[in-house]
Structure 1
Amino acid sequence: MTFFADSVGTALVDVDALPWIPFTPYSDEVFLKLIKINPINGEWTTLLKLPAGMALPKHHHAGTVHVYTVAGRWRYLEHDWVAGPGSMVFETAASSHTPVALPEADVIALNIIIGDWNLLDENDNIIAVENWRTMLKRYADYCAATGIEPVDVTSQAGN
């Protein structure tokens, strides 16, 4: 018997060829580069570009998150540490925090997220939910609006 898993190989993704997408409706200044989606476990991998001095909304993660800082320095308002180039942040499932880019430089970070990313208001009520489906829709809509030929970021093959 042959299993699907036997046909899954290593994928190479040409990240430079993927578009930076504005993170609307939350900000026209924050950009995402959707690299890969795994609909089976709800994992989505992105590069995030956050302007110097800017904060993202407070949010809650249903699953785990790994963040590798490529450029710039950032922190969570709820913690004392600062992440800089080469640092890795491991977030537990069910964590909430408010990321802020320090003012000296734009931040670029690789994010590997599993599950929902719930945006919170000032009373910690969920006001929006982001996940692999919303990210895929944002990517497809952006490609359609700008005339870019989308690649299948959900496939096991490379781009």
Structure 2
Amino acid sequence: MVDSEREVDVSIVAQLKESMPITAFSSFSDGLKPNQRSREHFITNTNLHDENLWVPYSDGVWFQPCCFNVTSGGFSLVLKRLPGSMVGTHYHVAGVHGYTMRGRWRYLEHDWIAEPGTYIYEPAGEAHTLVITEDSPEPMIAFFVVEGGLIYLDKPTNGTFAAYEDGLTLLELTRKHYRDAGL
């Protein structure tokens, strides 16, 4: 880069700072001291056979958490749902990866059916209603990585806000369940 290009870049940056000062987050803190943050790998061991580890979510729906991203609100979990159960219509604000391990499930808004071995990527911005097919030979068990929050809607078409869920709200739900279960 030549000096004249650098001067232009510096000038643009200075103009942006004057026209769009970002000061709201200059004193933001998550309350942790630097030595309380871990940048190391961590391992989560799920146990699909230990009923105490399944956190109740709604009728016929449970999850075992794998990770809560308290920065982005994302989370990963193993989800278990009984045949015929459903999770209400929801909108993803970020992408989702899913892998079906057992059972059969689908979205009411689509004509495909996920079975063991099905991988799905869902880009942000779609509202859908997850159901476990009545003919599923067993409960659906799937692993999901959800990169951000979910907005639950009161109805599938032209729905309005009903609830919000993300890694932080699920973390609190998990903490309560584990405390109540003596874990």
Paired amino acid for 1:40: T
Q: Secondary structure at the match of 1:124?
A: coil
Please name the residue that 2:139 is paired with: 106
Number of equivalences: 141
Paired amino acid for 2:56: P
Please name the residue that 2:91 is paired with: 60
By how many angstroms is 1:11 displaced?
2.8
Please name the residue that 1:51 is paired with: 82
Q: Which has the larger radius of gyration?
A: 2
Distance (whole Å) between structure 2 residues aligned to residue 41 and residue 127 of structure 1: 21
Distance (whole Å) between structure 2 residues aligned to residue 28 and residue 22 of structure 1: 8
More helix by share: 2
Aligned-residue sequence identity (percent) comes to 33
Q: Which moves more between the two structures, 64-73 or 8-17?
A: 8-17
Paired amino acid for 1:110: F
1:124 to 153, 159, 166: 159
TM-score when normalising by structure 1:
0.81
By how many angstroms is 1:40 displaced?
2.3
Distance (whole Å) between structure 2 residues aligned to residue 42 and residue 133 of structure 1: 6
1:144 aligns with 2:175: no
1:20 to 44, 54, 58: 54
Gaps of 5+ in 2: 1-34
Please name the residue that 1:10 is paired with: 41
Higher relative contact order (CA 8 A, sep 6+): 1
Residue by residue over 1:46-85, the C-alpha shift from the partner in whole angstroms, topping out at 9 and shown as x without a partner, is: 1111101222111101111111101001111111111110
By how many angstroms is 1:130 displaced?
0.4
RMSD: 1.9
2:68 to 34, 37, 42: 37
Q: Which moves more between the two structures, 124-133 or 99-108?
A: 99-108
Does the aligned pair in 1 maintain the 2:59–2:85 contact within 8 Å?
no
Paired amino acid for 1:121: D
Q: Secondary structure at the match of 1:140?
A: helix
By how many angstroms is 1:35 displaced?
1.0
Residue by residue over 1:18-57, the C-alpha shift from the partner in whole angstroms, topping out at 9 and shown as x without a partner, is: 810100xxx2421011111122232200111110122211
TM-score when normalising by structure 2:
0.71
The equivalences for 1:60-99 within 5 A come to: 60-99=91-130
Gaps of 5+ in 1: 149-159
